[in-house]
Structure formats: C-alpha cells, structure tokens
Copies of this chain bind each other. A is one copy, B any other.
Amino acid sequence: MDSVPRRKNSVEGGRGDGEQPVEVMTGMRHECGVFGCVAAAPWPTQIDVAHVICLGLVALQHRGQESAGIVTSEGGNSKNFHVKKGMGMINSVFNDEAMKTLKGNLGIGHTRYSTSAASEEVNCQPFVVHTAHGVLGVAHNGEIVNCDKLRNLVLSRGVGLSTRSDSELITQALCLTPPGAERDGEPDWPARIKNLMKLAPLSYSLVLMEKDRVFGVRDPYGNRPLCLGKIVPINNVYPGEIVEISKTGIKTITIVERPHDDPQAFCIFEYVYFARSDSIFEGQMVYSARLQCGRQLARETLVDADIVSSVPESGTAAAHGFSRESGIPFAEVLCKNRYVGRTFIQPSTRLRQLGVAKKFGALSENLKDKKVILIDDSIVRGNTIGPIIKLLRDAGAKEVHVRIASPPLQYPCYMGINIPTKDELIANHLDPIKLAKHTGADTLAYLSVEGLKLAVRENIDNKEHKSVGHCTACLTGQYPAALEW
C-alpha cells in the first residue's frame, strides 16, 4: 500500500460560509452537500427534476462552492444518464443550456469544496459508472475513515483506481458483487449498499441512482446529516438507514446497525456552525439550538455590560439568546462589507489593520463609551478576533468581553470536516486568560462541553430521538469508533 498522504493532513484554508468564500485566514469547512430527487406520478410531466435538484443544491451551497454536478435519468427503458458537472458555483455550472440537457424525472446532485481547480475536475461528483447491472450514479458527502483498508480490498480484486477520491472507491466497492447479492439475474443494489456499509461504517451521506430508483444512505453512526422529504425536507434519515425513493413512493430498505453497540454520533458542530439556521435536526431548529447556546453561555459566563452584540452573522442567534437570558440589551456594533475576499499583500501593520477595517465597519454611535459583550460562534486560529476588538475600541468601546458560544476546538476531524492541524488551533496554545490578553479583550470565555450538550438536547422530542448522541471529537478527542486508521 503506498504512502500518499491523506488529504485530511494537507494544508488547506477557507471557511465555507458565505461571507468569506476565499478568505485564507480562518477556520473549518464543510466539504460537500448531496441531494437526490424522484418526481412521482402526479408531478407535472413538463418539469424536469433537474430544476428541483438545482434548488436543492443552492440551498446546500454553503456546504461547498467549488464544483457542482447533477445526473438525471428518464428511467424505465432509457439506458443513459444525463450528466453535467463543472467547477464553480451552482448558478454558473447550471446555465440554461445545461439545464436543457438534464432531462428526466430521476436525479441526484452534488456540491463540493475542492482544493485545486483544474486538476480536480475529474473528481467532480456525482460519479457515473457503467456496470454489469446497468448504469449507476453516486454522490457522497463525508469521508471514509478506514479508506486504506477498503482501497486495498478493491485493488486486490483486479480493479484499477484512477484517483485518490473516496467517491471512486465507493463506486468500485459497490460494483464488486458481494457473495449472493444478485437474485434471479436482477441486480440487488440494496444488498451491495449494505455490504459497503459494513465494510465502511463511518462517515458519509450517500445518494445513489440506478435505473428507476434513488437511494438515500446515512452512515450507521449518523455522523453526517441527511434529510428526506416531499419538495421540502421534513425528516432526517435515520443513522444506518437505506431509503429507496421511486415513483411508487419512499420506503426504508433497512437500518444497518453500528458495530459494537456504539452510540449514535451526530456531528455537534452542525449545530454550532455548519448548518443553515433554518435546518431542523433531531426535532429542533438549528437557530433555536444556537439561541440556547447563547442562553447557556450567559448562565456560565455573565459579566457586567451595557450591550450584547455579535460578530455578524454567525454569532447573532447566540447573542440574542445571551441578551434574553441576561436582560442586557442587544445592539449591532459591526456592519459587514460583503465584497471582501482575499487579503491583498499588506506591507505594514498599519495597512493590515486597515485590511480588517475593510471587512467590518464599526457602528461608532452604538459603541461610544459602552461596555460590550461580543459573541462569536467559535474560535479556530484566533487571528480575526483581535483586529475586531481593536476596531471596536478605536470606535469608542469602553470594555470588550468576548464570549464564544462553543467549547475550545482542540482536535482534528477525520469525518469530512477540514480543521486546521492541532498546532494551528489557537486553543492548543493559549488558555482563555492568555487568549484575552493576546487578542486585546478585557475577558474571554467559552461555553463548556456540558453546556453545549445541554443546549442541543433541550428541545429534543424524546419519543422520536431517544438514542440521541453526538460526536464531540474535535472538542474532546473522543472519537465515535475505534476503527483502525
């Protein structure tokens, strides 16, 4: 087995949210979003599902902005899939001409964050493969934790792999017929999918398309989210669930169990940062969970102040929660320049400070002589909060107390999230007191791990989500499974 470095160790930058698409300085980022769709009988026949998938991908665009793809099929006797993939945002890839070619009432789509442009075009998803049992389309989000083992298995079967991507690996692993998987000459894709899930239980969401069916698959640990619905997403797919979507409706094929009675491990950072605030996971709205984080943060770290405010926009929900819990009024203190992209070469500290000023403007009349509690959702490298504090002070703030609505980030993720190396995570170098000093804050405090767990559990409908459990590996170092990697 060769020693090509896993991409998880490569140096990568960029936070995937909308406001800083090409920023080099900060944080974590999500790698992908997937979407599948079948137009059922009463669907107006003149509407191709590609339009619906496009809408779905736009709604997932915050999970990846560098390439996008859609594969559709007319089902039935049609033998070919229609494919359109390309580098760039969804709206640039799927122009009118592209949409016209994407005929059919079945389809899957993918949006993705990739590190290098041209050379990676071959890695754009969905993948389409011709197999002995017909054409198959595959799109996935996440990362196969034991990919080396799976790769060796595939190679040993005489298959050549042309990329290092998990997608090609998953695709070829699905093609390799598991013992007894075919019945009466018909391809038994559910059996193959189950086989794959046992070979590789963590971590991914998959959508697969064959002749007349789309499958939605969520890994047994439930680490990556996946939703299911009619037009508008309404239910989460259960951990380990294989859902079949066809013209006749939606049905659960099976629910694959976790190994060793391991508990469920839904990524807790989906609540903190990744997900859109109107998403609903485990029965609760993400915005509400963030509001709860703010309330809990106020309970844990209250300090005397005139106003509560936020670094827009990721900290705003928590700031409103903090304000309501503490009774300290909320007021905006920063306005954001939406056009700021990469930072220019800045030959002096003076200009560097101006560089920060570019991205945010201080609302001086709201700050003058005020004691401010400033809420942000998380701290990764810690290099943006300092200049913001400087900006607030220059605009007249008397005190600035930083409150972070999540615990310190200390460990890498091997489950599809790009987090800087341990060495780059500021929390591994400076405790809150030193970090306050380093950034120029009067005080700085984090939400506790227990507080975060409390916040995201509070509204859970216990009947439906009784086995709730979260992956907190990046905060605690406790990974969900003892897989050999």
A interface list, Cβ under 8 A from B: 2-4, 17-19, 22, 44, 46-47, 51-52, 54-55, 58-59, 61-62, 65, 79-80, 83, 86, 89-91, 94, 96, 99, 118-119, 121-122, 127-132, 134-136, 155-162, 164, 171-172, 174-177, 231-232, 276-278, 280, 284-285, 287-288, 313, 316-317, 320, 330-332, 335, 337-342, 344-348, 350-351, 354-355, 357-358, 361-366
CB pair A162 B287 closer than 8 Å: no
- B residues less than 8 Å from A162 (CB atoms): 127-130, 171
Q: A177-B158, A278-B362, A365-B285 are in contact. Are A337 and B59 (CB under 8 A)?
A: yes
Q: Once bound together, how far apart are the Cα atoms of A355 and B58, in whole Å? A: 10
- B residues less than 8 Å from A46 (CB atoms): 347
CB pair B177 A354 closer than 8 Å: no
Our pick among B129, B161, B285, B358 for the contact of A363 (Cβ within 8 Å) is B285
Chain B residue with minimal CB distance to A19? B338
Chain B residue with minimal CB distance to A50? B344
Q: Once bound together, how far apart are the Cα atoms of A122 and B2, in whole Å? A: 24
Q: How many copies does the complex hold?
A: 4
Q: A287-B365, A317-B332, A363-B277 are in contact. Are A62 and B130 (CB under 8 A)?
A: no
Q: Once bound together, how far apart are the Cα atoms of A317 and B52, in whole Å? A: 35
CB pair B316 A320 closer than 8 Å: no
- B residues less than 8 Å from A55 (CB atoms): 344, 351, 354-355, 357-358
Chain B residue with minimal CB distance to A135? B2
Q: Once bound together, how far apart are the Cα atoms of A335 and B332, in whole Å? A: 17
List 19 A-B pairs, Cβ < 8 Å: A2-B80, A2-B130, A19-B338, A51-B344, A51-B346, A52-B351, A58-B340, A61-B339, A62-B338, A65-B339, A90-B339, A130-B162, A130-B164, A159-B172, A159-B175, A276-B335, A276-B361, A277-B335, A287-B335
Q: Once bound together, how far apart are the Cα atoms of A96 and B342, in whole Å? A: 11
Q: Once bound together, how far apart are the Cα atoms of A58 and B135, in whole Å? A: 38
Q: Once bound together, how far apart are the Cα atoms of A61 and B363, in whole Å? A: 19
Q: Once bound together, how far apart are the Cα atoms of A277 and B338, in whole Å? A: 13
Q: A18-B338, A276-B337, A287-B363 are in contact. Are A51 and B347 (CB under 8 A)?
A: yes
Chain B residue with minimal CB distance to A159? B159
Our pick among B51, B65, B158, B332 for the contact of A287 (Cβ within 8 Å) is B332
- B residues less than 8 Å from A362 (CB atoms): 278
Q: Smallest CB–CB gap between A154 and chain B, Å?
A: 9
Q: A55-B351, A345-B96 are in contact. Are A161 and B276 (CB under 8 A)?
A: no
Q: A130-B164, A131-B161 are in contact. List 8 more A-B contacts (CB 8 A).
A: A44-B348, A51-B344, A55-B351, A55-B354, A58-B339, A136-B160, A160-B172, A285-B365
Chain B residue with minimal CB distance to A277? B335
- B residues less than 8 Å from A58 (CB atoms): 337, 339-340, 358
CB pair B344 A320 closer than 8 Å: no
Q: Once bound together, how far apart are the Cα atoms of A171 and B320, in whole Å? A: 52
Q: Smallest CB–CB gap between A171 and chain B, Å?
A: 6
Q: Once bound together, how far apart are the Cα atoms of A160 and B354, in whole Å? A: 37
Interface centre among A4, A86, A130, A357 (most CB of B within 10 A): A130
7 closest Cβ pairs, A-B complex: A18-B338, A278-B361, A129-B160, A61-B339, A160-B175, A91-B341, A132-B155
Our pick among B90, B337, B344 for the contact of A99 (Cβ within 8 Å) is B344
Our pick among B316, B355, B357 for the contact of A332 (Cβ within 8 Å) is B316
CB pair B161 A341 closer than 8 Å: no
Chain B residue with minimal CB distance to A132? B155
- B residues less than 8 Å from A172 (CB atoms): 159-160
Q: Smallest CB–CB gap between A149 and chain B, Å?
A: 14
Q: Once bound together, how far apart are the Cα atoms of A51 and B161, in whole Å? A: 28
Q: Once bound together, how far apart are the Cα atoms of A131 and B162, in whole Å? A: 9
Chain B residue with minimal CB distance to A312? B313
